[in-house]
Amino acid sequence: MKALYTQHSKLTSQYIDRKLNDFLIEDHADADLTTKVTLLNKPSTATAKIVVEQKLIFVGTDIIKRIFNDADINILVSEGTKCVPGDVVATIKGESQLLLSRERVLLNLLQRLSGVATLTNQYVTQLNSSTIKILDTRKTTPGLRLFEKHAVTVGGGYNHRLDLEDGVMFKDNHLAIIANISSSLKKIKEDHPGKKIQIEVDTIEQLQNLCHDNLIDVDAVLLDNMLPEQVIQCASLIRKNNNKCFIEVSGGITLDNLSDYNQIDVDGISVGAITHQSVSKNIKFEFE
């Protein structure tokens, strides 16, 4: 089954430029006192290389191109390349002040995104399924969501909804305070006919209550914090009532127990850890 939402496998130059501008302003890159004193305000040209220091899946070729768009750049790897320590991913020749003042912002992004892609790929590899997708969540770093979701796709995962406006998802807290779920579903469909609708359920009894006239009339169901045998039972009921419904599993699924779910008839497993628990990878910026 195809993914529910837009996949962010490519970031636009406009988006990257806008975010880089914010990050460079935050770091006062144009007021780098150390570099100004080092160069004594005299023009200087240098060549630097970006070097991988541990095994990783590399993300950030377009970021390198945009942050140093006035320099002579030679990208030596493709986005998503599996790198080992010592691999040079790019060389940059340009004004020394430009290279020095933008080094930290660049590395922060490359290290973070390569960490997300690498951990995502661990989950994809461990799951070892041609039909079940590893999905991300909105558990992302503020300001980096689209970058991190891009990194997920580079690592072989899939993007869930980007934000709260991207789709409708009734979770446990919504269901706890909602007046009438049927009325809410009807209202959403009338006002936003193109939006995907998903409902989270914790038990098969909740799922049975969603069935009306032998139909589960939503686009997706999230089976939350269920053991494999519970997922099997619920997935069977969903397929019987709506074989076009996207079935997602989430909650408590780690690299250690992921393989327990790879033979179950579901479409996706969402894992918040691939973004909020990923560890930045070691990458250095080295002048020749």
In a domain, 263, yes or no: yes
Instruction: Please indicate, yes or no, whether residues 88 and 208 belong to a single structural domain of this protein.
Output: no
Kindly state whether residues 137 and 225 are assigned to the same domain: yes
How would you classify the pairing of strands 168-170 and 197-201?
Answer: parallel
Same domain, yes or no, for 272 and 283?
A: no
- pLDDT attached to residue 172: 84
Distance between CA atoms of 44 and 232, rounded to whole angstroms? 65
> How many CA atoms are closer than 13 Å to the CA of 131, on its beta-carbon side?
10
Does any domain span residue 3?
Answer: no
Q: Using only C-alpha atoms, what is the Rg of the chain?
A: 23
One digit per residue, the tens of pLDDT, for the chain of length 288 reads 888 999 999 999 999 999 999 999 998 988 878 777 776 666 689 999 999 999 999 999 999 999 998 899 999 999 999 999 999 999 999 998 899 899 999 999 999 999 999 999 999 999 999 999 999 999 999 999 999 999 999 999 999 999 999 999 998 888 778 877 888 888 889 999 999 999 999 999 989 888 875 567 899 999 999 999 999 999 999 999 899 999 999 999 999 999 999 999 999 999 999 999 999 999 999 998
Residues paired with 92 in a beta bridge: 48, 73
109 and 220 in one domain?
no
Number of domains the chain contains:
2
| pLDDT value of position 192 | 93
Whether the CB-CB separation of 240 and 118 falls below 8 Å is answered with: no
* Cα separation, 190 vs 201, whole angstroms: 23
Q: Does residue 187 lie in a domain region?
A: yes
Find the CATH number of the domain harbouring 138. Answer: 3.20.20.70
The predicted pLDDT at position 265 comes to 96
Please name the residue that has the structure tokens 């240098």: 46
pLDDT at 178: 81
Q: Are residues 219 and 206 in the same domain?
A: yes
Instruction: Answer whether residue 60 is part of any domain.
Output: yes
Residues 217, 148: one domain?
Answer: yes
Residues 30 and 143 in one domain: no
> Chain-centre distance of CA 251, in angstroms?
17
In a domain, residue 101? The reply is: yes
pTM for the structure as a whole: 0.94
Q: Rounded to whole angstroms, what are the CA distances from 275 to 122, 191, 224, 261, 270?
A: 13, 32, 19, 21, 11
Furthest-apart CA atoms within the chain: distance in Å: 78
Which domain range does residue 269 map to?
128-276
